[in-house]
Chain A
Amino acid sequence: MIELNNITKTFPGVKSLDAVTFEAKAGEIHALLGENGAGKSTLIKTIAGAYIPEEGEIIFDGTTRNWESPKQAKDAGIHVIYQELMLFPELSVADNIFIGKEPRTRFGQIDYKQMHMQAREILDRLGHVLAPSETVKNLTVADQQMVEIAKALVGDTKLLVLDEPTAITSGREAAVLFERVNNLKEQGVCIIYISHRLEEIFEIADRVTVLKDGQYVGTKNITDIDKDRLVGMMVGRELSDIYPTKSKRADDVPVLTAHDLSLTPRVKSVSFELFPGEIVGLAGMVGSGRSEVAHALFGSMKRDAGSVTVNGAPYNTPTPKKSIELGIGFLTEDRKEQGLLPLLDAAANITAPGLGEISTNAIISRDKEFVIAENEIQRFAIAIPGPRSDVWNLSGGNQQKILFARWARVCHRVLILDEPTRGVDVGAKVEIYKMIRRLAGEGIAILVISSELQEVVGLSSRVLVMREGVMTGELSGQDVNEKAIMRLATLQDAA
């Protein structure tokens, strides 16, 4: 049905796809697997015509078709369902299914009777019971997803791409989804299925293709492979020398302990300890509750239960202000939304959590501020003309370093880093790793949250793994490897 030959797509600083080959047949469910950053999304967007590759060819339905726009791909019968549903919540199921393609009467009005009839046919074809007249916002997320799939069946869809469809559904709903997807497969539709969850790949897929770091690793029949070998294909690589040497505990007395931390429904009774000078990784899939643990510790989200001690003293009603005063820093994952102050200069960005330090009697000394900022800029080698410079036009790496400097200043006990290198090029990554290692060397306890397994393994001497809000395991020493983490993060029987 579709063949991709030697597709290469680069972005500034990143070779997102490197001569990737991929092929899927009609009437098959083909799983696409890989870690975050492996190139899955880029591949899908290339198939859908949203990205135009620099090299390689796309053969669809027997002819070479190098799309120039998503519309061409769509007209040819390719339909992609992204993770975020794109529905109009106030409109009916039928309205949504036929949006932009409504059947018309002779007078050019929308033929609602016809539309509802056809909507029912499509839902029947899916084997899903749903009233076409129901308003979409009243549906469960799983039913909304069915509407999304039904949309794909208007017209002649030959290839359907599902991007992590079970990320938003529960186990029971997922079973229904699999049944519907199987129905479509039997009707000859080619389905490309992206997921992080290994067990469901084995449940639903016929074949699986693995990508890693933008490169094609291999394609296997699902019957010819087991979970272990699949994990091996995904992560099987040497740790390169981009990581600093592992840090060691500076002290055997924990600087922070968390006991039975809960934040319903995202975090369920999580306990751990952090020691001075130790870098601890917190791994798990997106949505496993990692970030929420950090927010619950820092006080930026309100937890329902749990007791925390800092330096042996109880710290149970956290607020960001109190945490900062205690020497806890939190570099959040979303640089633009939760971190950067784009309208202020570099100095103000760096000093934001420590206004007390640059002021006397509530009056800010810009001189003091500039001295502090200048120091940080030099200490972390931030490529910026000076403390008065704007930050909004800096590269992602330099923006991240500014935020890193912000938190490195105020944290003298614990630093929590949520996705510290997301959207940052490789060079900046290495520098940020060095910065992290340096702070650990100064005796600060560091908790690194990351979706990149390689990063977690490369940095941490101990790793906590979460899955669906529960801590499924703790690894240390030789046990810290991608395979072990992946198993704890994905498999239900691993706890």
Chain B
Amino acid sequence: MTTFGSTIAERSPGLVDVTVQKWALPAIFCGLLIFATVISPSFLSVSNFQNVMTQAAPLMIVVIGQTFVILVRGLDLSVASLMATVAVIATAFNTQDNTMIPVIFISAILLCTIVGFINGWLVTKRNVSPFLATLAMMIVLQGLRFYYTQGAPAGVLPEGFRHLGTGKYLGIPANIIACILLFVFLTFVLEKTVFGRKIFIVGGNPTSADLVGINSHNVTITCYIICSIMAGIAGLLLVGFVGTVDNFVGRGYELDSIVAAVIGGVALSGGKGKLLGAILGALILVVLFNIVIIVGLPVQAQLVIKGVIIIGAAAFFARKTRG
């Protein structure tokens, strides 16, 4: 007699809670935009806004990938290191010849696929914690990169990459277009396809997933591969934007992407979250950093603000999920 009809009256979220849940992020984002515009009217100018978005695009792409991994109860600390490694690959041929772009692209995606597979394999088949597996991957990639570049990466990029990073089509920066396309496609995958449903089932309850005939390991490994490929694409865009390569392209994106996902309501415990939320989380983060600069606060203030936001977001969503 250890279990009884579990009629414990758990309060279901009321109408107000649901509304708050749905509109909190957009509201915060708009609030920040208004705040920034009040302080500095030039903030909302088209050029500045494009500027902010262009900065945000690589982070948003990484966040999309990170969200896939977090949804299956993982996290990926190797994304930033992978971005930098891909950037080094992009300049490895040291040519401005655009015909090398497919070669660079394919080798970058190939590397990312391998990295993602190893991460996922370690987490599932070897039962290594995601934190350790991807931390180790981050270090290994860093070591390989340093070995190859001997500490001082050099080389030039094919012209085409500069276009990707800074060019515009129909007046919209190319990397924003890339970001939007990826976002739309992967949102479709996540919300409308069988594979997307499997991700939510595995993230919500891996044991149940296996029992209903879903191979939770394969789903998880695929999510890690998606995450790595997103990081690779972001790395290529970022190196195109910056124009030169250094050993730390994308530095800090591993944590920023996790923070953005958490702000966006993606549950670190898995199985719950939307790409749109994660993207908004990334935008909020970037706009906040921007505000710090507009206001004239020291750059270090970004860190303090970032920390405070994490705690705030975590507390907000924790309160909500307990209903």
A binding-site residues for B, Cβ under 8 Å: 11-14, 16, 36-42, 214, 298, 300, 319-325, 330, 332, 337-344, 348, 352-353, 355-356, 359, 362-364, 390, 392-393, 395-397, 399, 406, 422-425, 428
Contacts and interface: CB of A to CB of B under 8 A. Distances in A.
Contacts of A353: 212-213
Nearest to A392: B10
Interface stretch (B38-46, B57-65, B199-207, B299-307): B199-207
A332 B211 contact: yes
Interface string B166-187: 0000000000000000000000
Given A323-B213, A343-B204, A352-B208, A422 B4 contact: no
Closest 3 CB pairs of A and B: A423-B3, A321-B213, A425-B5
A58 B139 CA distance: 64
Interface in B193-227: 193-198, 200-201, 203-205, 207-208, 210-215
Given A324-B213, A338-B207, A340-B208, A359 B7 contact: no
A330 B207 contact: no
A454 B195 CA distance: 43
A26 B207 CA distance: 47
Given A37-B1, A40-B1, A364-B194, A395 B201 contact: no
Contacts of B214: 321, 352
A12 B7 contact: yes
B10 A11 contact: no
A423 B6 CA distance: 7
B163 interface: no
A201 B201 CA distance: 46
Contact of A344 (B3, B5, B194, B204): B204
Interface string B81-115: 00000000000000000000000000000000000
A319 B1 contact: no
Contacts of A348: 197, 200-201
Contacts of A36: 1
Contacts of A363: 192-194
Interface string B7-44: 10010100000000000000000000000000000000
Nearest to A319: B213
A422 B3 CA distance: 7
A39 B2 CA distance: 9
B194 A41 contact: no
Contacts of B212: 320, 324, 352-353, 406
Given A41-B1, A298-B211, A340-B205, 7 more contacts: A12-B4, A13-B7, A337-B205, A343-B271, A348-B197, A355-B198, A396-B6
B215 A364 contact: no
A416 to B, nearest CB: 11
Contacts of A42: 1
A338 B208 contact: yes
Given A320-B212, A392-B10, A359 B194 contact: yes
A336 B198 CA distance: 18
A41 B10 CA distance: 25
Main secondary structure of the interface of A (DSSP, over half): mixed
Of the four ranges (under 10, 10 to 19, 20 to 34, 35 or more), the interface on chain B belongs to: 20 to 34
B207 A362 contact: no
B318 to A, nearest CB: 15
Interface of B: 1-7, 10, 12, 192-198, 200-201, 203-205, 207-208, 210-215, 271-272
Contacts, number: 117
Nearest to B188: A363
A424 B5 contact: yes
A393 B10 contact: yes
A395 B200 CA distance: 23
Contacts of B2: 41
The interface centre, meaning the residue of B193, B203, B272 with most chain A CB atoms within 10 A of its CB, is: B193
Nearest to B192: A363
A320 B213 contact: yes
B272 A320 contact: no
Given A343-B204, A343-B272, A344-B204, A16 B4 contact: yes
B200 A343 contact: yes
Nearest to A403: B208
A245 to B, nearest CB: 26
A14 B4 contact: yes
A204 B129 CA distance: 47
Contacts of A339: 208, 211
Contacts of A214: 1
A341 B201 contact: yes
Given A11-B4, A339-B208, A393 B12 contact: yes
A406 B211 CA distance: 12
Given A37-B1, A363-B194, A300 B210 contact: yes
A321 B214 CA distance: 7
B7 A396 contact: yes
A422 B12 CA distance: 24
Contact of A341 (B6, B10, B193, B208): B208
Nearest to B12: A393
A341 B213 CA distance: 14
Contacts of A393: 10, 12
Contacts of A364: 192-194, 196-197
A402 B198 CA distance: 19
A390 B18 CA distance: 13
B195 to A, nearest CB: 7
Contacts of B193: 359, 362-364
Q: For A37, A42, A362, A397, which residue has the most chain B Cβ atoms within 10 angstroms?
A: A362
Given A41-B1, A319-B213, A355 B208 contact: no
A16 B4 CA distance: 9
Which interface residue of B1, B3, B12, B194 has the most chain A CB atoms within 10 A? B1
Nearest to B207: A338
Contact of B5 (A319, A337, A395): A395
Contacts of B7: 12-13, 395-396, 425
A38 B213 contact: no
B295 to A, nearest CB: 39
A11 B2 CA distance: 11
B211 A338 contact: yes
Given A323-B213, A392-B10, A355 B5 contact: no
A188 B6 CA distance: 41
Nearest to A406: B212
A344 B214 CA distance: 16
Given A37-B1, A428-B5, A321 B215 contact: yes
A319 B281 CA distance: 40
Nearest to A332: B211
